[in-house]
Structure 1
C-alpha cells in the first residue's frame, strides 16, 4: 500500500476489512436472538415441493463458537500482521523480511559445501565434478533464461559457449561480469557518419571486415567514414574489450547480421544490459558459477576432459 500517493486506499481497505468482520459478528448475534415460532411438529411452516419442510433447529453450540473463534482470530491476526491498509502489524512481519530470512538460512546451510572450493583455482574447479554440477545448476536457475540451457544465447543474448567475449573471457572477468553486471551502449552514429548513403556504405565496409557478402564498391566508399566508429572498434575493427566494443572482423553478430541490421544499429544505436547478481548470489556461488561458464568455452576444462 506504500506505493499509493494518498491514504484513501489505506482507509478504504481498513474500513472494508473491519466492516466485514463486524458485519459477520452482528449477523451471528441477530440470528441467535431471533426466535421463530414453531409448529407442533417443530417446523417453521415453510414448505417446498409439496413435502420438503424446514425444521426449526438452532445451530449446534460448537458451530456457533467456531464462528466466534474465527472472528476473534481475524481481529488478532490483523493486529499482529499487515492487512489493514498501511498498518504494518505489531510483529513487524514483511514478505521481504521473510524472504531474506529464508535466503540467509539457505546460505548458512550451504556454506560448508562451498567452503571446499574456497582455495581452489578456477581451472581446477571447472574440472571438479561436484563444482561443475553445482555451477551447472546455478546456471540453469539464474542464467539460462537469457542465455539458453545450452548457453548458446540468441539474438541480443551472448553465446557463452564460443570464444567471443565482449569484456574478456578470463575467469576473473567472467566473475566480475556476473557480480557487477554489464551495460553495453552503442550510441546512434548516423550523424557522425554522414548521409543515409554513407551509413549504407559503412554497413558494407563492416560486412567486408568479416568476409561476409557485401558490395565492394560501397565498402570502399565506406572505409573512410568508418573512422567515426574506430574510436571504439579500432581502425582494424577488432574491437576493444575494455569498452565492451565487439570485434567486427569475426562472424559473431549479437544483434543480427546483414546490411539492414548493421544500418539499423548505426542509425538507432543499442543498449543492452546484463543484470548484476551480487545481491542474489553469494561470493562463493559466483566463483563456482564463473568457473562453470568459463569451462563452456574451454573444451579442455571440464570433468570429462580431466578424465
Structure 2
C-alpha cells in the first residue's frame, strides 16, 4: 500500500468518526419542562410527529460505539499502513492456529506417514482424516465427492492422466501437474479437425455416431499430429498426461462440438503443487484417501 493511499484511508476514517461525533453533538436536545407533547408540525393521516429528544440511553450507546471504534483502530489494523499496537494480522493468526494444530495432530500424522498407502486402506481413522483434508483443500476443483467436473478429473474411476499408483498420486499432490495440448485448428483447418474427430469416435470402445467418409483421412492426420502423445492406438500416455481417447472418459466433454473445440483451441491445464500447503504427512493421508476412492471394490473383495 502506498503512503498516499494510506493517508487517504486514514483521512476518510477520521472524517467519518468526527462526523458522527459532530452529528450527535449538534443535534442533541435536552428535555425542557413544559415542552412535553410538543410536535414538529408534521402530520400524516392523523398521525403527528413529536419533537422529543432522543432517549439518553440511546445517545450514550452511540457515544460508546464511537469510543469502541477509536480503541479498535488503535489496537488493530484499520488506519492505512498502521498495523495497530498489538501487531495482529490474519496471516500471523493463521500461522499460530496451524502451528497449534500441527503440535496436536502431527504425532498422529507421522504415525500414518510411516505406513504404506495400501496398508492405510485398512485404517478407517486415517482415511477419514484424509477425507477431511481433501474436503478442505481439493473440493474446489475435484468436488466434495472427488468426481470432478468438466476440466477437472474424476478421482473415483480407474482412468488416470498421470497414473494411479500411490507414488503417482502422491507426486501429483506434492508437485502439481501442468498439462498442455497445442491448438491444431490452424494446422488442420476446419475440415481436418472434423476428420480427426470422426476418426477418434470410430475407434471408441462405446459405439458412437460418426461419418465413415471422414475416417480414413482422419486416421492419416491423427497419426501425423496426435499419435506422438495419445499413442497410435489412442490409449494415451500417462508419462505425458495425454488422456486415453478410446474409453468413455472425456475430461473436457465428449460431445462432437466439445471435442472439436479442444482440438482447434488446445488446452492449458494446471494443478498447483501442494507440498508447501499440506506437507508430506498430510499429503500422504490425502493420497491414501484418493487411492481408496477408486479401489473400494478391491477392499470389499478382500473382506
Quickly name the TM-score band, shorter chain normalised.
0.7 to 0.9
Which residue number in structure 1 is paired with residue 241 of structure 2?
244
**Superposition RMSD in Å:** 3.4
- The aligned runs of 1:149-228 (5 Å cut-off) are 149-192=144-187, 194-211=188-205, 212-213=207-208, 214-226=210-222, 227-228=224-225
Partner Cα distance (1:86, 1:22) in 2: 20
CA positional deviation for 1:25: 5.2
Alignment of 1:1-307 (within 5 A): 2=1, 7-8=4-5, 10-23=6-19, 42-44=33-35, 47-48=38-39, 73-192=68-187, 194-211=188-205, 212-213=207-208, 214-226=210-222, 227-302=224-299, 304=300, 306-307=302-303
Offset at residue 294 of structure 1 (A): 1.0
Mapped to 2, the partners of 1:56 and 1:260 lie a distance apart of 71
Structure 1 residues 55 and 294, CA gap change in structure 2 (3 angstroms): closer
State the SS of the aligned residue for 1:271. Answer: strand
SS at match of 2:244: coil
Tell me how far 1:52 sits from its aligned partner. 10
Q: CA deviation at 1:68?
A: 6.8
Q: 3-state SS of the aligned residue for 1:245?
A: coil
Shift of the 284–80 alpha-carbon distance from structure 1 to 2, 3 Å rule, reads: same
CA contact (8 A) 2:177 2:272 kept: yes
Residues 38 and 52, structure 2, Cα contact 8 Å, conserved in 1: no
- Cα contact 2:30–2:53 (8 A) shared by 1: no
Structure 2 Cα separation of the partners of residues 130 and 35 of structure 1 = 67
Deviation at 1:17, TM superposition (A): 2.0
CA distance in 2 between counterparts of 1:145 and 1:152 reads: 11
Q: Give the whole-Å Cα distance in 2 for the aligned partners of 1:262 and 1:77.
A: 57
Name the SS for the 2:276 alignment partner: coil
When normalised by structure 2's length, the TM-score is 0.81
Unaligned runs of 5+ in 1: none
Output the CA distance in 1 between the equivalents of 2:51 and 2:279.
66
* CA deviation string 1:190-210 (max 9, x = no partner): 233x33212211111112222
Q: List per-residue Cα deviations over 1:119-168 (Å, max 9, x = no partner).
A: 11110012211112222223333333433344233322212122111011
Aligned to 2:42: none
Cα separation, 2, equivalents of 1:177 and 1:286: 10
Matched residue SS, 2:217: helix
* Residue 46 of structure 1: how far off its partner (Å): 6.5
Q: Alpha-carbon deviation of 1:90?
A: 2.8
Using the TM superposition, give the Cα deviation of residue 112 of structure 1 relative to its aligned residue in structure 2, in angstroms: 2.5
| Number of equivalenced pairs | 294
